[in-house]
């Protein structure tokens, strides 16, 4: 979408209210922390903040929303292009000084993983130093250190769910969400 974020949000909220839907069905790129597509997108992000809005919605709703924007427009907000998402992905890094945190991390990453979602390039290390005692964050040597890095990829909803889980955890850094899609359909 080309237009201000607040205008697009208001239009989408009105559209969903008229359909009796929930706002959670449409996600905004700024809330998802999307990785810019290209150098041009990065320049736009730096200089034209607020002039472009990315929306993500399931197919039947996306089509209806696109039709509504084309027909009614919204105070300067216009539909610029559409594309189907094939896959989503993000990278992560973790460093933890407690076995319980490491166990919780592994469970968030491996247990109850949404269908169509996978962890790629997973690298894990555990260092145990029995001579050190305690788990103080600023101790010169910790008795236990768990490190992990990798990439989660797959279906959009599953990847977003795993990213949310990991982002809520202490000592885990998640990268911006990368979307792979079909060739964009330019709408003018």
- At 147-176, the pLDDT tens digits run 999 999 999 999 999 999 999 998 999 999
Distance CA 136, CA 140 (A): 9
Q: Which of 62, 82, 102 is the last residue of a domain?
A: 82
Provide the pLDDT for residue 122.
Answer: 92
Looking at the structure, do residues 93 and 166 belong to the same domain, yes or no? Answer: yes
Provide the pLDDT for residue 112.
Answer: 76
Looking at the structure, do residues 71 and 93 belong to the same domain, yes or no? Answer: no
Domain that holds residue 94: 86-180
Looking at the structure, do residues 75 and 134 belong to the same domain, yes or no? Answer: no
Looking at the structure, do residues 90 and 76 belong to the same domain, yes or no? Answer: no
Expressed in angstroms, the distance from the first to the final Cα of the chain is 11
pLDDT at 50 over 60: no
| Reported confidence tier of residue 46, pLDDT bands at 50, 70, 90 | very low
185 located within any domain: no
Q: Which of 61, 82, 103 is the last residue of a domain?
A: 82
| Reported confidence tier of residue 43, pLDDT bands at 50, 70, 90 | very low
Which carries the bigger pLDDT value, residue 155 or residue 40? 155
Predicted structure pTM score:
0.80
What beta strand segments (E) does the chain contain? Answer: 27-28, 55-56, 81-82, 85-96, 117-128, 144-154, 172-174, 178-181, 185-186
Counting the structural domains of the chain, the total is 2
Looking at the structure, do residues 123 and 154 belong to the same domain, yes or no? Answer: yes
Looking at the structure, do residues 17 and 102 belong to the same domain, yes or no? Answer: no
Q: Does an H or E element contain 116, and which?
A: none
Mean of the pLDDT values across residues 110-131?
87
Look up tokens 């919204």; give the residue.
Answer: 74
Q: Which of 34, 58, 82 is the last residue of a domain?
A: 82
Range in 58-67, 83-92, 133-142, 161-170 the model is least confident about: 133-142
């Amino acid at each position: 979408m080309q237009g201000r974020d607040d205008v697009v949000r208001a239009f989408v909220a009105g559209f969903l209210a008229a359909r009796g839907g929930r706002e959670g069905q449409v996600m905004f790129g700024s809330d998802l922390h999307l990785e810019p597509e290209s150098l041009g997108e990065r320049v736009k992000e730096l200089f034209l903040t607020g002039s472009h809005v990315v929306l993500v919605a399931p197919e039947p709703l996306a089509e209806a929303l696109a039709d509504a924007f084309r027909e009614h427009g919204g105070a300067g907000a216009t539909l610029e292009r559409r594309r189907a998402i094939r896959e989503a992905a993000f990278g992560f890094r973790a460093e933890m000084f407690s076995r319980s945190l490491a166990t919780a991390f592994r469970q968030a990453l491996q247990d109850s993983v949404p269908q169509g979602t996978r962890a790629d390039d997973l690298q894990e290390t555990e260092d145990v130093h029995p001579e050190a005692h305690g788990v103080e964050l600023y101790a010169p040597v910790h008795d236990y250190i768990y490190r992990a890095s990798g990439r989660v990829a797959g279906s959009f909803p599953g990847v977003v769910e795993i990213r949310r889980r990991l982002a809520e955890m202490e000592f885990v850094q998640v990268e911006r969400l990368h979307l792979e899609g079909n060739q964009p359909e330019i709408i003018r």
